[in-house]
Structure 1
């Protein structure tokens, strides 16, 4: 039996509980006092930090190892102190996870004491859990709509390949999409190639081949994106990663998006244009079943 935490009320996110705080050095994660974050922290001041979001299924954090690997790689890139041994994170989660499915958010903040101060030799890592809220069933049955946002994303900035705490471009993109009654925002890069969505990766199915923008489009290597590509390899589903513009996918028969909370979500329309004769299509349905069986329920 898992723990039954008393979730606190957060006005923005509903019920939430901070599970653990850690002081992170290159050598170790050390449990720390609750609410250690200071207003001078560089993550709070400048968005200098990283985050990972994932869900549980039957008390199992889905693809946790992959999320921790990405966190470690991004921390090295940004120069944020973090040890190679992150076993304290799954150990803490094992103690604290309730029986219900939840969302886990891991936040790594740079620490420090402001813009010009000497950088601390440690960073701050927090684990948060809050109830998992699955998308509406009708989204999976009928598909969702996307809106292509006006602002283009840099094709060269390396920051878009990492889940940094500064997520304003994605937040603004999603806000624009919602103002057009769309479920998600489709983002184009400054080379006019399709990049990704504001909170998800995108896939197209063209003549039976599953296509997704290459990381050279300057996209985040989503954990679920990688899982879908692995499922394609393991199940002999033709697939490719490539640079794509709208002309390349104009005649795609299926579109779907992925992230760690929605899994495989079919897309019905992009900017009012429908794709294929049915939604979800057969390839999307097959990959959704494979994901639910091999990734979520394994």
Structure 2
């Protein structure tokens, strides 16, 4: 089996030879950002949107990316090809940007040298359905990091630990008022009487790229769409629930806290619309 290759700071290197400084702030302080992307037969879905989000997040965190977007576009494709994934039906890419190595403590380095790494792997088909549980972990809108795709996933990991302990596939994280904010690895939607609702982009969630696709597609389909708080009562009364992220697209929720839920017609309709939109890249 061939050794995977990593694009690291401008060069493709075997993964077992890739070296990141032990003083890198991404490792020590989670001081960085990342993007996860899906490639279908070599075509990277929503690449420009992911790059834009990465660069916008870097601007907020005052990390100057060491490469321009056009270089990162080429690097992503080179990484796919170097790993023999350019013809795979599904492959995943991860771009990771950190502030780079620095001295001890929180003080920012005077002359930073950010780290940029891209890795690739084969991606399985999305699950046919997911069992979810409601976690005790909350997302806080007061944190400036909440809407950014930072390396700090401690809350998400702890919520996933609760899901694992409960025998569920995924966890739903709470909002500050005790409602539902998001899943650990994506956004959440509920459907009731044909109306589609997802929590608002109020700072407590990461408003995903696929989430935005679904909102646009639902409106194009003349569905009633709202960005509003989802209470526990709303979740329990939902006709359909589904999750979205950039690797799965849409994944139906088939069990909530042990209660079975069908993968309904709205979920299926939007999943098909998303598949077509990604195939033609029109959203």
> TM-score interval w.r.t. the shorter chain?
0.7 to 0.9
Contact 2:147 2:207 in 1 (8 A): yes
Please give the per-residue CA displacement for 1:96-148, whole angstroms capped at 9, x wherever unaligned: 4221131100000111323346343331111111111223xxx42xx321111
Q: 1:131-146 maps to which residues of 2 (within 5 A)?
A: 131-135=122-126, 139-140=127-128, 143-146=129-132
Cα offsets for 1:47-79 (capped at 9, x unmatched): 100110111012101111111111111111111
Partner in structure 1 of residue 60 of structure 2: 77
Moved segments of 4+, more than 4 Å: none
**2:46 paired residue number:** 63
Q: CA deviation at 1:183?
A: 1.0
- The equivalent residue for 1:99 is 87
Task: Say whether the 8 Å CA contact 1:42–1:112 is kept in structure 2.
Answer: yes
Instruction: Name 2:162's counterpart in structure 1.
Output: 176
TM superposition shift of 1:189:
2.2
Unaligned runs of 5+ in 2: 81-85
Where does structure 1 lack aligned partners over 5 or more consecutive residues? Answer: 1-5, 9-15, 23-30
Aligned to 1:21: 8
Change (3 A) 1:166 1:217: closer
Query: Does structure 2 conserve the Cα–Cα contact (< 8 Å) formed by 1:51 and 1:165?
Result: yes
TM-score, L = length of structure 1: 0.84
Query: Pairwise mapping of residues 64-213 of structure 1 onto structure 2 (< 5 A)?
Result: 64-82=47-65, 85-97=68-80, 98-100=86-88, 101-116=90-105, 118-135=109-126, 139-140=127-128, 143-213=129-199
Partner of 1:225: 211
- Choose which of 204, 211, 220 in structure 2 pairs with 1:234: 220
CA RMSD of aligned residues (A): 2.0
Measured against aligned partners, the alpha-carbon deviations of 1:235-266 in whole angstroms (never above 9, x if no partner) come to 22221101221123432211000111111111
Alignment of 1:238-249 (within 5 A): 238-249=224-235
Q: What is the TM-score of this pair, normalised by structure 2?
A: 0.88
